[in-house]
Amino acid sequence: MRKRDREATKARLLEAARLRFAREGYDATSVRDIAGDAGVDAGLIFRYFGNKKRLFDEATADIPADLLDGPEEELVARMVRSVIFADWTRYGGEHPLVAMLRSSAHEDTRQRIREEVCTTYVSALENLAEGDDAELRAELLSAWLVGIGILRSVVATPALAKADLDDLAPHVAAVAAGLLGRPMSGTTDA
């Protein structure tokens, strides 16, 4: 098989895996289902990824690296854009964290969620928080943002499903400022 075909096949497998894991979680997704969705033999998953767990890890590795870049007062707005309003079509319209949450029956997945959420989101918010209980307030804000994302994309509650960034911005800014003890922007110009 030519290198170009290998890369195209690997990309199709990752795309199929993202959708399956996002919709069904780790346990309910079989290697055969993913391979069938990609139109290839299941053996290629083992050839390219080694096992289902490595495929899952690679398929759910899309937490944005540049989330922390930019003005501090816009961090919450960037998180809102990423968690709630980004185009996650590759995951069936949901943030990759949702796929990981659907697979959280596994301790290693729960640990990965904890590490990624705490080191990416909570830690950055904690560094911005002023006053006592910074860690707790950062976790509360993180939980609120993740909850909004889940209610909007998974549950599709009516008001959140139709809301746009401008609708949420004043509420996000007010809650973030209240929990972090400092003014935060609810929107970014980006």
**In a shared domain, residues 78 and 154:** yes
CATH number of residue 149's parent domain: 1.10.357
Residue 186 lies inside a defined structural domain of this protein: no
CB 25 within 8 A of CB 96: no
Q: Give the model's confidence band at 60: pLDDT under 50 very low, under 70 low, under 90 confident, else very high.
A: confident
Instruction: Please give the tally of structural domains in the chain.
Output: 2
Domain termination residue (choose one: 59, 88, 107): 59
Tokens found for residue 72 = 């501090």
The domain that contains 12 carries what CATH number? Answer: 1.10.10.60
Give dist(CA 7, CA 3) in Å, integer: 6
Domain enclosing residue 28, as ranges: 3-59
Domain membership of residue 190 (yes or no) is no
What is the per-residue pLDDT across 91-105, written as a single tens digit (0 to 9) for each?
Answer: 676 667 776 777 777
Q: How far apart are CA 79 and CA 25, in angstroms?
A: 24
Q: Of 27-31, 68-72, 169-173, give the lowest mean pLDDT range.
A: 68-72
158-186 pLDDT tens trace: 999 999 999 998 999 999 999 999 988 76
Residues 71 and 163 in one domain: yes
Backbone angles phi, psi at 47, to 5 degrees: -65, -45
Determine, yes or no, domain membership for 108: yes
